[in-house]
Structure 1
């Protein structure tokens, strides 16, 4: 039996899709806070159980009979609460007799205990202390934060501007990371390993060249002095400082193929209707 926690989110649903391509639906359990949100998965034959990170008793029941559990990190932003939720999930997995845990951590969580990796660092330590066999799959930032249908605006204006300083970006798409998680859950030889996943390195100057080649009109790359507002601006600052240039071969090796390339990603994005267009309504 394979269990997936927090499976009602975008990433969790992608993992379930990949699992259903690899094993019978009756062998897949999803643990979600609100079972009614995944009625479509139940209709596909997946076992749906209530599993709330803030209610440990529900987790023990949800994880029962699971040979392997994909512990998807909580969406909670407060690290203190997030750590408490993850520790509760690990304790519930141990109490329920789960055979092994696969945890979606974050790049550099093994060496950085503060900032975006704080809860992941603590969770990795808690897993080691639990004695449960486990695998760590450390994610980079999602490519969707940068590569999305908003690129249509750059094509219309002929200008792609950003504040990343032209530095490399090692993001990966959720679909690739979800497939990798499904493989780790269902294949042998992954237990005890820690994978540092990165996608194919790309940059905004390269993206402007790809857009120009694919849309048939010139898209000029322009360096912007000021960062975007909010979280996007913070991400741009990380890129500009070189924090997203680390690369490993782990994702390619687990997938058995190269991660989605910039060309492949742009092709898919341009095939979708532009936001606000009549076709998108």
Structure 2
């Protein structure tokens, strides 16, 4: 039996989809904080159990009978509380007799113990001393933080606001990361491994060309003169330092095929396509950056 935590979240649902394509639905358990948000999963024959990161007793019950557990990292922003939640889940897994754990970590968590990787670093250390067989999947930033509905506005205006300084991004779509997790959960040979997942490197110049090619409208990048507010500005700061340019073949190797190419990801966002704009029609440029979704 395979148990997936945070199964009603964006990544969790995609993993459930991938798992049920590979094994019977009655072998999959969705552990969620609120079963009311998982009615669709229940309707598909998937067992839904209460598994609340803040209630360890529910985690022990949710993990009962699991051969393999996918521990999707908590959405909690405070690193101390997040690490405590993960440790509670690992303890619950040990008490429930779980066979092995697959944990969704973050790139750099093996060496960096501060900032965004702090809770992941602590969790990886907790796994290493837990005595439980485990696999670590270190994720990059999700492509959806950059590739989302805001691209339609860029097409409409003809300008793609760029605060990345032309540096590369190694992001990956949730769907690819979900498939990789499902493969690790259903295949042999992954225990004891730590994978550094990255997608193919891309940049905003390539993104503008893809938008132009796929929409039939010219789109050019426009450097953002001021730092974007909030999480978007912080994320673009990371890109400008080259922090998102690390490349490995781990995602390719686990998937057994290349990750989703940029054109395909953009095409999905632009479907249905915008109506081609007559050359004589005026356009109005807007500075529009992507909505940031880091979780």
Instruction: Report the TM-score, using the length of structure 2 for normalisation.
Output: 0.91
Give, in angstroms, the shift of residue 70 of structure 1: 0.1
Partner residue in 2 for 1:183: 183
Partner residue in 1 for 2:284: none
**CA offsets 1:173-199 (integer angstroms, 9 cap, x no match):** 000000000000000000000000001
Partner residue in 1 for 2:47: 47
CA contact (8 A) 2:215 2:273 kept: no
User: Counterparts in 2 of 1:201-216, with a 5 A limit?
Assistant: 201-216=201-216
User: Counterparts in 2 of 1:151-170, with a 5 A limit?
Assistant: 151-170=151-170
Local SS of the residue matching 1:122: helix
- Structure 1: gaps of 5 or more residues: 275-281
Cα RMSD, aligned residues only: 1.0
CA contact (8 A) 1:171 1:244 kept: yes
Partners of 1:222 and 1:273 in 2: how far apart?
23
Pair 1:10-2:10 in alignment: yes
Partner residue in 2 for 1:271: 271
Give, in angstroms, the shift of residue 158 of structure 1: 1.0
**CA offsets 1:236-271 (integer angstroms, 9 cap, x no match):** 111011110001110011111100111111111111
Local SS of the residue matching 2:103: strand
CA contact (8 A) 1:7 1:13 kept: yes
User: Counterparts in 2 of 1:179-258, with a 5 A limit?
Assistant: 179-258=179-258
Partners of 1:154 and 1:35 in 2: how far apart?
38
- Structure 2: gaps of 5 or more residues: 275-295
Give, in angstroms, the shift of residue 160 of structure 1: 1.1
More displaced 10-residue stretch of structure 1: 82-91 or 212-221: 212-221
Give, in angstroms, the shift of residue 225 of structure 1: 2.2
Partners of 2:174 and 2:180 in 1: how far apart?
10
Partner residue in 1 for 2:22: 22
CA contact (8 A) 1:8 1:32 kept: yes
Give, in angstroms, the shift of residue 217 of structure 1: 2.1
Give, in angstroms, the shift of residue 72 of structure 1: 0.4
Partner residue in 1 for 2:88: 88
Partner residue in 1 for 2:68: 68
Give, in angstroms, the shift of residue 272 of structure 1: 4.1
Instruction: Report the TM-score, using the length of structure 1 for normalisation.
Output: 0.96
Count of aligned pairs between the two proteins: 274
**CA offsets 1:33-53 (integer angstroms, 9 cap, x no match):** 111110110111111111111
Local SS of the residue matching 1:102: strand
